[in-house]
Structure formats: C-alpha cells, structure tokens
Amino acid sequence: MDNVILLLIVGIPIIGSCILPYVGRMSAGLRNILALGFVSASLAGSLMLVPDVLAGKIPSITFSFPLGCNFILCADRLAVFMAIVSSSVGAVVIVYSFGYISHYRHQDEYYFMVVLFLGAMMGIIFSGNLIFLYVFWEITALASWRLIGFYREPRDVLRADKAFLVTVFGAFVMLLGFLMLYNQTGSFDLAAIKASLKTNPLPDMAVFLILIGILSKSATLPFHTWLPDAGIAPSPVTALLHAAVLVKIGVYVFARLFLVTFTVSGIWHTVVPWVAAISALVSAGAALVDTDMKRIIAYSTVSQIGFIFLGLSVGCPVGAAGALLFILMHGLAKGGLFLCAGIVEHNTGTKNITRLGGLIGTMPVTAVSFLFCAFSVMGIPPFGGFFSKYLVLAGAVEKGQMLVAFTFLAGAVLTILYLFRLFNMVFLGEAKGAPAREGSPVMVLSVTLLAALSLVSGIYINYPAHFAQAIVKQMSGM
C-alpha cells in the first residue's frame, strides 16, 4: 500500500497539473479547487507515510529502464519530512492565490506551473536515481522561469531568463559530477552508489561540480543575485520560490547526497560552512540597505539558507537536527513574510518602503502576522526559528568552528536590524498615500495561519524536534 501511496504523491500533481488549463476554460472555480486538491493529495499521502517511516520502514518502488536510468521512488524519514514541509506551504500558497491571482490574465498557466512545480519537487524528494533527480530538477527550473516572468513585461522576462540561465548552468555542471559518480561506481542509483563507495570519500572534483549545482539552485553566494531579482514575480510565486520549494531543493539534495549517500573529505566540512557564512553576512548587509520590500525579504532568504547549510555541513548531529528544523521554521515564516508583502503591494501599489508607513492602522491582521513571522526568522523565543538557529550555532561550536559561529551570530544580529527596519517603515510611523485595506479573506487567512504556525511550532517544539532527531539518526545509520 505504501508503494502505491508513494507513486500517487508524485504522480497526482504532475499528471493533474496537465488537465488544469483545460478545466480552467470551463470553470475557474473548479480549476482552483482541483489545483488545491492535487497538492493536498501529496500532503495527505506524505502524512500517511509518517508512522511507517518512523517505525524504520523505507517504502520504495522501482521501474527498470536501460542504461541505468531506473525510475526509483524511495521514502525515508528525510524525504517524508521535506515532502510535508513543501506540500503544506504549497497548499497555503495556492489558497492565497485564489484572492491574489483572481484578476490577472494567464491564470490557467499559473496554476498549471505551480502544481507542476510542486509535483516536480515531490519527484526530486523521493527520487532514488540521479538521472531522474536531474530531470525533475530541470522541470522545476522550467516552471519557475514561467512563473517569475508571469507578468510578461520585458523586465520580468529578462529577470526570469536570468534565473533560468543561472540555475540551468548549475544543473549542467552538477550533471557532470553525476557522470563522474557513474564512471566510478557504474550506477546512477543512490543505493548502489552508497554500497559501492561505502566509507571511501567522493573525489573532490565530483564534490565541487555537484556543489555548483546545489549552490546555484539555493541562491548561495556567488550565485545569489537571481533570487532578489525574482521578486518581480507575483507574491505567491515568490513565497513558493523563496520559502517552501525552490531554494530548499539545493539544501535537500545536499543532505541527500553528502549526508546520506556518500562521504566527503574533511576539507569540505570547512569550505562549505565558510561559503555559507560569507553568503549569510553579505546578503544580510544588502537587506539592511535595500528599499524594495520583496528584495529585502529575498536577501533575507539567501542569508537564512546559509544557516541551513551550516547545520548540514559541520558534521554534527546537533547541527543537522537544527538545520532540518530550520527548513520547516523558515518555510512557514518566510512564506508568511512574502504573502504579507503581497497584501501590502496588492493594496498600495508599491514595494518601495520609503513610500509606505502607518499601515498597522488599516492592516492590523497583516501587520501582526508579519511581525510574528519576522520574530521566527529573527530567532526570537518562543518562536520556532529560535530553537533551530540555536541548535545550528551549537553544532558549529561543538565542532570547534568558533569563528564561523561568530560570523553567523553577526548575521543573526543583522537579521533583527533589517526586519525591524522593514516593519517600522511599512507598518509604523505616519501613513503615506491613499488609505490601504486588508487583503481578501483567503489572503488574510493564509498569512494568519502561517504566523500562528510559526508561534505554535516553537511552543510545541518537541514534536518537530523529535522528528528531526529521528531523521538524523537514520541519516547517520544509528
């Protein structure tokens, strides 16, 4: 039964997305409901797998093809965790879209691309073969390209092209690393590669090539500039790309390959944390001086992704557990920030924070929701982001990387500064321009839900922490 569920988790959104444009010609309402239903089916299926994966089972299904390109889906604890995070935030984004996208053209294409994107993410998460992982990886690049350029203006298309070229270039370089793996092990199947390499470190050149693809998709320095530029997309798209799915693909594949499948030489446990630290600090500085609301939040995403890379790369179970928790907490909180920014932009007509102010008077629910999500990203207790950041930094200290930990601590201070600056200039002070109002009920409900979850996940941190610890134990073979 688990094997069928696994196939449906991936198949329903991918196949279902293809019928949405046809349904949309008949009924926009039915199309919207089906889009939510397809993503919710992936969420429900992932939740159904939780008891079995926590019990130690690893459901899988295989279809054999020539040349080692076997279609393999495999569900361990890490995969199920990522699927739940991605599909749950994705479902909230689709609900929000009901209000945000309702008056724009190209709605059929929008829902088609969003659901296809989420289905491809499920494919990446559960793929047990590097070739199919690469195929799903490129599908997400294609879908994000169309979504970033949704408005069709020349500037929008140019920035969408930039995101596409950067991530596709990185993916091609990563594919070269996969071919080096095949040359050494004779297989593209992750289980066979793990058995072949055993405890032998992967050649440094293969590690370098694969990291290029991972860092480009995760918008990590020096490949980070495409992500702030992607802020020209509709706000639900930016929430999807920055919070729930796109940038998390890189950190997930990093964990899947470098923590689960094979080992790397010790130098990478120093190089990757430093790359992440510099990326986190530089992008936090950029967020502190920018005046575009969505670009500030985007730079914040680049910075916070660095924390996740730090936790996964230092080689410490505590840090890895913190990184996994931060994937969840960042997804909830950053998704909420982007959706709040979307309400502000939607109802004021501007993203420039110098032209905004005093919106807490007319948008109290949005303002409080933004503040709650910001507290989690800052790492303010008892919000969920506090515990995850603490564990990540504790892992770096435990491994003796004090200077890296101090650099990230400086980045955390900058996070507090630029998010308070953003909240102050948008929601406090004197009102500017025409009076704004709250968003539509589904938009306000979406941001309220994510804000509440950002708080509740911290208050009841034991539950996600237990799951994260169980994932780390399975990854380390304990």
pLDDT of residue 434: 60
Cβ atoms of 293 and 440 within 8 Å: the answer is no
Identify which of 178, 64, 212, 62 has the alpha carbon closest to the alpha carbon of residue 126: 62
**In one letter, which amino acid is 186?**
G
Identify which of 25, 13, 84, 22 has the alpha carbon closest to the alpha carbon of residue 50: 84
**pLDDT tens sequence across 30-50:** 999 999 999 999 999 999 999
pLDDT of residue 243: 60
pLDDT of residue 244: 57
Cβ atoms of 244 and 85 within 8 Å: the answer is yes
Quick check: helix, strand or coil at residue 189?
Answer: strand
Rg over alpha carbons for the chain, rounded to the nearest Å, is 21
Euclidean distance between CA atoms 195 and 321, whole angstroms:
25
pTM of the model: 0.93
pLDDT of residue 185: 86
Q: Which residues pair with 352 in a beta bridge?
A: 292
**Could you tell me the maximum CA-CA distance found in the chain, to the nearest angstrom?**
66
pLDDT of residue 37: 95
Q: What are phi and psi of 352, to 5 degrees?
A: -80, 115
Euclidean distance between CA atoms 324 and 251, whole angstroms:
10
Print pLDDT tens along the chain (478 aa). 778 899 999 999 999 999 999 999 999 899 999 999 999 999 999 999 999 999 888 888 988 887 778 899 999 999 999 999 999 989 999 999 998 887 888 889 999 999 999 999 999 999 999 999 999 999 998 998 998 888 888 888 898 899 899 989 999 999 999 999 998 888 889 988 888 887 777 888 998 999 999 988 887 888 888 888 887 788 888 887 766 567 788 899 999 998 888 877 878 888 899 999 999 999 999 999 998 898 999 899 888 999 999 999 888 899 999 999 999 999 899 989 999 998 998 888 888 888 888 888 888 999 999 999 999 999 999 999 999 999 999 999 998 889 999 999 999 999 999 999 999 999 987 777 666 788 788 889 999 999 999 999 999 999 999 999 999 988 876 5
pLDDT of residue 15: 95
pLDDT of residue 184: 87
pLDDT of residue 359: 87
Please report which helix (H) or strand (E) contains residue 61, including its range.
Answer: strand 60-63
Euclidean distance between CA atoms 347 and 229, whole angstroms:
22
Euclidean distance between CA atoms 29 and 200, whole angstroms:
55
